Structure 1
């Protein structure tokens, strides 16, 4: 299977070279594309100086816009599957092969999960994760142990949908919506590192707002959403 690693990047000058060099040197079987989301630091310069495969967005579109750009590229280039992969060093490429094998069992999406076999910590942030897992379970009947994991592998059909639908955010509520629509989702156990450089935009207050937004969206808003594909409903 042709696999594309999509690496959205915003102000990741301190980590991007290590992440991409690891992919190039140790996992050449996977193609990659960096989507520079209007970074204000040296992220783009570093990528161009090293001749990395990069798409430069002229302005910051946010994760959804950057990820959709990567999915459009994956769809145009005919990839069989594409994986969302962090530029900050948290995601480990050694798990990609296992995720691809899991997808070949008949799944449409495979999530790299921290909590398939490992217990979920009792922190406030993990409390939010538990609430979102509960909301997905109640509304879909499917357990997703790590709904906020950003390490997600998508098959060819989902690449097309994410490429052509502007309202498909790479977030837990979209995962929940797609499960309700019959998309088959699996999780595999992975390890994730701490962010190697920079700071996450999700501080405590933003995390609370984010988790609340996801909960309301999963419980209420997704019930009024229709799955539309280009050229039909």
Structure 2
């Protein structure tokens, strides 16, 4: 057992070393240059703030998308207005049924907060990519940009009936996880060395 655990730790340290070497390599190919790594880090942190700001606005009613006094802490629902207003799509009845429920509000707000903090800090980016893609897919389905395009020829909130910001955000989060983006201007390396992360590789960034 001890030999097996030591073997796992050695393999993991080799992976960390490979990532560190990749980050500093200036060659073309699958490895990013230092400048590219910094550029991706800027996009990562910026997108993280988008999610974090959405959480703060909906939680405290900062009078942007959420009016003053209508925040989550004031008893407002961050999902009721949006989900109850879904007018088309195969999940329309499902969204109407869960609109404003306590568990839907809680999961949505925890998702915004968790994704925002993870992206800004650069940790758990694999889990974040999965959770963020799921959240973006649900929001895309709720807005259903195909609806008006198919019925009237006019787009719904987007000039493209298929690709909108939800898809782009999801793809960006997948890119961050695949490129170890948390190692640059983030806590990715520190996160990877934590014992519980070393023993649960699915938690790696």
TM-score, normalised with respect to structure 2: 0.28
Q: Which has the higher helix share?
A: 2
Q: TM-score, normalised by structure 1?
A: 0.26
Asked which structure has the greater CA Rg, the reply is 2
